[in-house]
Amino acid sequence: MRVWPGRPYPLGATWDGAGVNFALFSENATAVDLCLFEGPALEERRVPLRERTDQVFHAYLPDVLPGQRYGFRVHGPYEPEKGHRFNAHKLLFDPYAKAVGRGLIWSDALFGYTVGHDDTTFDARDSSAFAPLGAVVDTAFTWGDDRAPARPWHETVIYELQVKGFTRFMPGVPERLRGTYAGLGSEAAVRHLRELNVTAVELLPVHYRIDDRHLMEKGLSNYWGYNTLGFFAPDPRFCSDPADPACATREFKTMVRALHAAGIEVILDVVYNHTAEGNQNGPTLSWRGVDNAGYYFLSPEAPRYYMDFTGCGNSPNMQHPRVLQLVMDSLRYWVQEMHVDGFRFDLAPTLARELAVVDKLGSFFDIIHQDPVLNRVKLIAEPWDIGPGGYMVGNFPVGWTEWNGEYRDAVRAFWAGREVPTDVLAHRLTGSGDLYERTGRRPYASINFVTCHDGYTLTDLVSYERKHNEANGEGNSDGHNDNRNWNGGHEGPTDDPKVTARRARQRRNMLATVLLSQGVPMLLAGDEIGHTQRGNNNAYCQDNDLTWLAWERADRDFLAFAHAVTRLRAEEPVLKRRTFFQGRPIRGEGVADVSWFKPNGHELTDHEWKLPHKSLGVRLAGDLIRETDEHGEPIVGDTLLVLMNADTRHVRFALPATNDDHEWELVLDTADDHKPHATVRGGEKYELADHALALFRTRSLRDPHADLTPLRAAALRKAVTGPRARRSAPGASRERPQQPAAGAGARRHARRHVPAPVPRRLHAARRARPRGVLRRARGHAPLRVPAAPRAAGQRPRLRHHRPRPAEPGDRD
């Protein structure tokens, strides 16, 4: 076999169309052997890498082709007390491998020391029969006209999912594609996401990972995937043909292309805060054998041991430039080669630790901010780890968003009936300005959620007060104990109609709260169909029907509700503000764009602001947004009134006053999906049931287009007055139509003004409305929603606010 010197960059195995360049960094190694595995028996051929440039061992092999399986053996001192754990008997997975040629098979031979003895002992057994192999991959792919949707943050709705569990049982997905990247990109999966008005999917880790040995011995696996071994290779367990090394990359790209075509972004949950090698008692699979002292953050006092800020055994040495390079090269690869749109960084403070202290001005953030590729994608931090000073909610730099744990805790506690100071709750519902505004960030820095993969599902959140994690094999000791929730009066499943009705109401309350809050809503996959994990709030190791979404048992009524509320968020500008309310404290009388009310209709005083209130109303003024669209025109929409009652009794709310020519129109009431269309004048009373939320919007008594939403009005105005229409109209004038007069509380948005041809089109559309498509409240065009089976004579649910599919021009 011909061996040429090759190049030290790029690292890893790179096919250039004529051969493959291999390059491996190791600061402390004395020699490196490239090991090629060929034939059905995977016989090993060793190629010494004799060239070394800038601490990188490299060679070019013109006779090697894509699909070649390989690994490395790295020579050097085995001195654990000094931080060195070189052992050339252990075959190592390339840290830059872009594909997996063979998975790991657990064996004691994988450990650098003799299992059962001290970790300073030396094990001379060959691990090549058990170690995972990298594979050379040809990354060429026909992307066609694929382009990033580039959805603005304030318009984003995130849907967190696990690739396998999402489609494993999904009807409409071909059987062989279920649970794969291709399944997620299938027509049935994409249709579900579009109907739910999702703009971005956040995928639980898809980097190549291994199953923990102790889990496999129990018949379990690392289902969530937070145990990374390859930061460049897509996990082959999610492809339809895991035996083909190129399959995972090809199907992942195909999935991204399909989601982009539907306007949906792809965000990856990435785990750079630790690796699958664990602590000093873990196996030698990759970095530990390549250069333990270079890659890992070792204890300064005793380099034999690892600094562990995650509870997973080790932490990367983010002070080392080559470690930073590894992380940045990986991120850029997934953006440039795989076309992903952003990242959610697991336990992100670990990446900012320099000398064990979290430094928000550290090298990691500096590099991200100046990188021309990475500073334009979506960046989400899980802003905590278990190390000292690791709780960093609100402390990440400009350009970052954060999972807002403060939002989750406050909203859960409020609907569970606990006492939450009103100022705390109000800040959470309006973008958490107390956390983000002082650092120059916007409301969309807050990723709002009440459920995520790590914890209860929404159904379980309202059904269990105690975790039930026995299936994990840890004696129910794992998982969170304080979940700030309420089971509705009974622990677990029940046939009590009062309890089940209360739980259904609580699910609607929390979903509506997330979608009506300022910031970026994040939904957990399966919550919209009522998925349950039977009380398990730490199902990280359950790769079975406990976590796979049970589509055949979907709660169709709740799904229809989710469709309606997500559509409402897409249509109402006041729910997607780019700026905080007036940029000043949100409390007090006289703040016109947001007002907080007690049930008697009076605004909260400063004294009452610090007190908990279980019944509360908030008015969001849609005519006082004071922002402009991409064309410089003012954005004005409906004024909304949200009433929340977390008390155990019904409450009569006095609705705030409106203009004489306006009234309040009921959009939804979580206590009664059957409640008919209703309007209420300002000052009149509305009775809200216990544990319920109601949403109203102002309706003009004079506006001939009262049923027209801002979104639809803009689409129709563009259709009849856009550049093409103006150019084609004889004698078309360049003058803009006269704006409606501005007045207190009046609609002053230019988009609210619709030219004369539009009413005729609307009337024609109303006359042509198919039978069975019900008229919805203003802001909701008609849509057929698959109905749940119902008894004869039962009324359709959510009759007054069903969503509609996206139409041309809706994004404008």
pLDDT over 70 for what percent of the chain? Answer: 84
Tell me which of 382, 409, 527, 673 is the catalytic residue: 382
47 with 173, same domain: the answer is no
Residue type, 420: V
Question: By C-alpha distance, which of 462, 570, 474, 554 is closest to 515?
Answer: 570
337 with 213, same domain: the answer is yes
111 with 212, same domain: the answer is no
What average pLDDT does this structure show over 85-91? 98
Contacts of 729 (CB under 8 A, 6+ apart): none
199 with 128, same domain: the answer is no
DSSP H helical ranges for 21-131:
none
Residue 602 in domain: no
Token pair 């953050």: residue: 297
Task: Give, for 109, the enclosing helix (H) or strand (E).
Answer: none
For residue 379, give both structure tokens. Answer: 């960046």
Q: Flag whether pLDDT at 765 surpasses 50.
A: no
Are 166 and 189 a contacting pair, CB within 8 Å? yes
What is this structure's pTM? 0.87
Contacts of 40 (CB under 8 A, 6+ apart): none
Number of compact structural domains in the chain: 2
544 with 413, same domain: the answer is yes
For residue 401, give both structure tokens. Answer: 């968003």
118 with 170, same domain: the answer is no
**Burial class of residue 370 (count of CB atoms within 10 Å of its CB; 0-12, 13-18, 19+):** exposed
Q: Flag whether pLDDT at 710 surpasses 70.
A: no
The CA–CA distances, whole Å, from 549 to 524, 531, 575, 617 equal 11, 6, 30, 35
**Burial class of residue 164 (count of CB atoms within 10 Å of its CB; 0-12, 13-18, 19+):** buried
568 with 509, same domain: the answer is yes
Predicted pLDDT at 779: 36
Count other Cβ atoms within 10 Å, centred on residue 63. Answer: 10
Tell me which of 269, 291, 308, 346 is the catalytic residue: 346
Q: How sure is the predictor about 708, in pLDDT bands with cuts at 50, 70 and 90? A: low
Residue 319 in domain: yes
What span, in angstroms and rounded, lies between the C-alpha atoms of 486 and 493?
14
What would the pLDDT profile of 588-598 be if each residue is shown by its tens digit? 445 579 999 99
356 with 214, same domain: the answer is yes
Q: How sure is the predictor about 736, in pLDDT bands with cuts at 50, 70 and 90? A: very low
92 with 197, same domain: the answer is no
What span, in angstroms and rounded, lies between the C-alpha atoms of 85 and 279?
12
Q: Flag whether pLDDT at 746 surpasses 50.
A: no
Are 631 and 736 a contacting pair, CB within 8 Å? no
Are 282 and 225 a contacting pair, CB within 8 Å? no
What would the pLDDT profile of 456-484 be if each residue is shown by its tens digit? 999 999 999 999 999 999 999 999 999 99
**Average pLDDT value for the chain:** 88
How is residue 526 annotated by DSSP? T
Q: Flag whether pLDDT at 18 surpasses 70.
A: yes
What span, in angstroms and rounded, lies between the C-alpha atoms of 622 and 698?
9
304 with 180, same domain: the answer is yes
Are 448 and 517 a contacting pair, CB within 8 Å? yes
Q: In the beta sheet, which residues pair with residue 343?
A: 268, 379
Q: How sure is the predictor about 659, in pLDDT bands with cuts at 50, 70 and 90? A: confident
Rounded (5°) CA angle 205-127-330: 30
Predicted pLDDT at 359: 65
What span, in angstroms and rounded, lies between the C-alpha atoms of 88 and 73?
5
What would the pLDDT profile of 780-805 be if each residue is shown by its tens digit? 333 333 344 444 444 333 333 333 33
292 with 439, same domain: the answer is yes
Judge whether 382 counts as a catalytic residue: yes
Are 10 and 232 a contacting pair, CB within 8 Å? no
Judge whether 33 counts as a catalytic residue: no
Predicted pLDDT at 389: 85
What average pLDDT does this structure show over 762-770? 35
The CA–CA distances, whole Å, from 588 to 8, 583, 591, 608 equal 63, 14, 6, 10
What span, in angstroms and rounded, lies between the C-alpha atoms of 300 and 324?
20
More confident site: 6 or 808: 6
Query: Which of 193-202, 659-668, 715-724, 739-748 ranks highest by mean pLDDT?
Result: 193-202
What would the pLDDT profile of 613-625 be if each residue is shown by its tens digit? 999 999 999 989 9
What average pLDDT does this structure show over 371-382? 96
Q: Flag whether pLDDT at 705 surpasses 70.
A: no
* CATH number of the CATH domain containing 495: 3.20.20.80
Residue 764 in domain: no
What would the pLDDT profile of 45-84 be if each residue is shown by its tens digit? 999 999 999 999 999 999 999 999 999 999 999 999 999 9
Q: Flag whether pLDDT at 698 surpasses 60.
A: yes
Count other Cβ atoms within 10 Å, centred on residue 690. Answer: 17
Domain holding 50, by residue range, is 12-135
Question: By C-alpha distance, which of 575, 634, 568 is closest to 431?
Answer: 575
Are 188 and 177 a contacting pair, CB within 8 Å? no
Phi-psi map region of 150: left, alpha, beta (phi>0 left; psi -120 to 50 alpha)? left
* CATH number of the CATH domain containing 89: 2.60.40.10
Are 269 and 331 a contacting pair, CB within 8 Å? no
What span, in angstroms and rounded, lies between the C-alpha atoms of 593 and 576?
14
188 with 128, same domain: the answer is no
